[in-house]
Structure 1
């Protein structure tokens, strides 16, 4: 019997969490990943040592390292959802669409939750960003794909609830009187905002004043270290001259842009692109140009993409605590040392920051609410802790109004509450 059982799924770019509303009872974050430091938080990772075997979460990393980084490790694959040109990937001769890739991960979450609750579950409330894309057509396409992925995982009925709205339901429990609250959900792939009237009890759809966001957050901040400095080590500026040609060419943006993003770089291994990069190396103008392209081959062939971007993320976090930090990578053939400063990070990230806060301004404008009228600002997600993001929020709203406990379970808790509404016959969206 499944009618009284609902899963709540916070499917994130970096981490995923699952709760449940089962037989009238709330189940907070379920311990789906016993090998993780926090068993309730499962890294959104898939590792295929070969096409017929897949590992998930912490075990994906363990097996990836244990098996000498052979096979394919997928991270940040959620970020491909609005990209209509990205259909999926090929594992040996097996075609994996993006919908089935996400569906495989959702199915594993479902199986583990069902085992803990000892019941089959066919209904789910799944979080969605305020916007997968700034393009409404691409945003709708992404949501359609998520619907197909959920169906692949075996869910018969699904409600998609905006993640910042879900976070609002969680924060509501802290209130003793009605307030206008801004929820800022800063994740790995998206920055999302909801302006809402919250009161201790009850909810009506008209309480939601505005929802907005943009598809930039933690991963976009990580990518600036690649795009402004580190990608030069991997041929982003390598020059070459084709046989019988007279023009000196530089590595095309289609390659260097993939190189900058953790979700996209794995696709440099796809046959056509890979053969093109091989040709660039053969036709390199100087030995220095060829050496840089060779480092790209080492990065891809020796499966160093994941640890390299993990090191970039550590560098980003280190700049929250000190004015400068050293980025050191000592894998044979990829040895490098660069010193980064907070000011460099701020300068490089300016365009990303402006787009994030432009979405916030749009949210305030659509709600007809000024920053002075906002009673409380509640933040969730790791990117909310980046100092220049914090500082910008303090400038707009004042430090005293910021609820800065950016804990990871707020969205999930609100999704579980949404599941409770659904169980009572009330839809949130």
Structure 2
């Protein structure tokens, strides 16, 4: 049960939590009496509690005039799917937050740094909130991963970029909190006694762990963070394992082409773009599409490359990854399923067994387990001392992940939810804590 609030606390302003995710972003409000609610977006006749982390830029041409337009969230995907003019679609850009090698990207005639993309995205979110979200006036708590995605991530760089982007929207002195800490605050309201808790948050780009001690003191729930750990591996990497084994070979990966009197391997770098579906659109402008078209003329199996070319030309990446997601979800409850993707003249079908999928992701699961071990070590806590384990995020339903935690901590201690809003709810609740600075992550220098 949430702690009782005083009359003074009940007069406190609403606090806002923002869970800026790799795949989806959620905004939540918390009231002084412990009530929480997610910001709802109306799109296509549906109410959505999450805002897809995506941007679509397009060049709107009129006689004598050209204007660059932009949309975010589900409206970005809608524009992407229905585009009839030149466009640039960007998704999962959170993955570049801590990358020193990512300096900028060109979008038509303009240069965009990471902070430009984030500020633009946030502006589209505020626009579609229809006046219900004023970041400049908010008691704002912003989530961040324990470990940012990417090779050699620079946390200070990522935080400077976050701060710059939010400052542009008038945000004054926000509080930054680790995402799994937010989830822990939300789940802790279920606790009926003092407990040491592990929260495992599986997003699209990162897997993060927080170990916390919760105690009731004078009728109020108190929490002490013991340790945090994380790794830049999660749902996106699992999706790519299916693409790499099922889809890519049917699009020419591992094939050969003729060059004079020799046969050579088709370069694998073309297939790296299949790691995320939106990257396929970039192949139209970076020279890769032209390279594939040239290779198809001399390939031993040209029909496979022609399928790859068709997927790129007709922007089928979104539909392809939707098929991947359906197959992965099916394997959470079935030992085998059929992967099926159809679009235009292309049809890819293949049997997919859970045991094969688990073999493909075994290395990533081992690295996730090593990160978990590091968190327990930092907390100086043994697995048997963890009294409750809260699992959040879609990847927590992957049986191999569930089994990892059941074997380490016991099935009876696990609590799993598919509630997208749990992190944002917890972040907003932290905003109501009079000592919220205890949970704040060090800001960038």
Change (3 A) 1:36 1:278: same
Shift of 1:208: 1.0
Q: Where does residue 54 of structure 1 map in the other structure?
A: 70
Bigger strand fraction: 2
Separation of aligned partners in 1, 2:95 and 2:135: 31
TM-score by length of 1: 0.87
Q: Where does residue 391 of structure 2 map in the other structure?
A: 379
Q: Where does residue 112 of structure 2 map in the other structure?
A: 96
Please state if 1:210 is matched with 2:227: yes
Q: Where does residue 239 of structure 1 map in the other structure?
A: 256
Shift of 1:153: 3.9
Q: Where does residue 356 of structure 2 map in the other structure?
A: 344
Please state if 1:72 is matched with 2:88: yes
8 Å CA contact 2:182, 2:430 repeated in 1:
yes
Q: Where does residue 28 of structure 2 map in the other structure?
A: 19
Shift of 1:394: 0.8
Change (3 A) 1:93 1:70: closer
Please state if 1:43 is matched with 2:52: yes
Separation of aligned partners in 2, 1:36 and 1:368: 50
Separation of aligned partners in 2, 1:277 and 1:310: 24
Q: Where does residue 179 of structure 1 map in the other structure?
A: 195
Please state if 1:150 is matched with 2:162: no
8 Å CA contact 1:33, 1:57 repeated in 2:
no
Determine helix, strand or coil for the equivalent of 1:197. Answer: strand
Shift of 1:25: 8.5
Q: Where does residue 296 of structure 2 map in the other structure?
A: 281
Task: Provide structure 2 residue ranges, at least 5 long, that are not aligned to the other structure.
Answer: 1-11, 60-66
Separation of aligned partners in 2, 1:351 and 1:36: 42
C-alpha RMSD over aligned residues: 2.9
Shift of 1:34: 4.5
TM-score by length of 2: 0.84
Separation of aligned partners in 2, 1:83 and 1:255: 22
Separation of aligned partners in 1, 2:369 and 2:204: 16
Structure 1 residues 51-70: Cα deviation after superposition (integer angstroms, max 9, x where no partner): 72223323333343344696
Selected match of 2:346 from 309, 334, 352: 334
Shift of 1:418: 2.1
Please state if 1:417 is matched with 2:426: no
Structure 1 residues 286-324: Cα deviation after superposition (integer angstroms, max 9, x where no partner): 2x1x33222222112101011111110011111122222
User: More deviation in 80-89 or 374-383?
Assistant: 80-89
Structure 1 residues 240-270: Cα deviation after superposition (integer angstroms, max 9, x where no partner): 355xx76643333433222233354443334
User: More deviation in 128-137 or 217-226?
Assistant: 128-137
Separation of aligned partners in 2, 1:22 and 1:293: 56
Between Structure 1 and Structure 2, how many residues are aligned? Answer: 420
Change (3 A) 1:71 1:376: same
User: More deviation in 391-400 or 404-413?
Assistant: 404-413
Task: Provide structure 1 residue ranges, at least 5 long, that are not aligned to the other structure.
Answer: none
Separation of aligned partners in 1, 2:392 and 2:45: 21
Separation of aligned partners in 2, 1:155 and 1:93: 28
Structure 1 residues 118-165: Cα deviation after superposition (integer angstroms, max 9, x where no partner): 785366321111111476653433333323332344434333211001
Q: Where does residue 241 of structure 2 map in the other structure?
A: 224
User: More deviation in 294-303 or 110-119?
Assistant: 110-119
Separation of aligned partners in 1, 2:406 and 2:241: 24
Q: Where does residue 188 of structure 1 map in the other structure?
A: 204
Q: Where does residue 4 of structure 2 map in the other structure?
A: none
Q: Where does residue 267 of structure 1 map in the other structure?
A: 282
Shift of 1:401: 0.4
Change (3 A) 1:98 1:267: farther
Structure 1 residues 331-355: Cα deviation after superposition (integer angstroms, max 9, x where no partner): 1232221111111111111111111
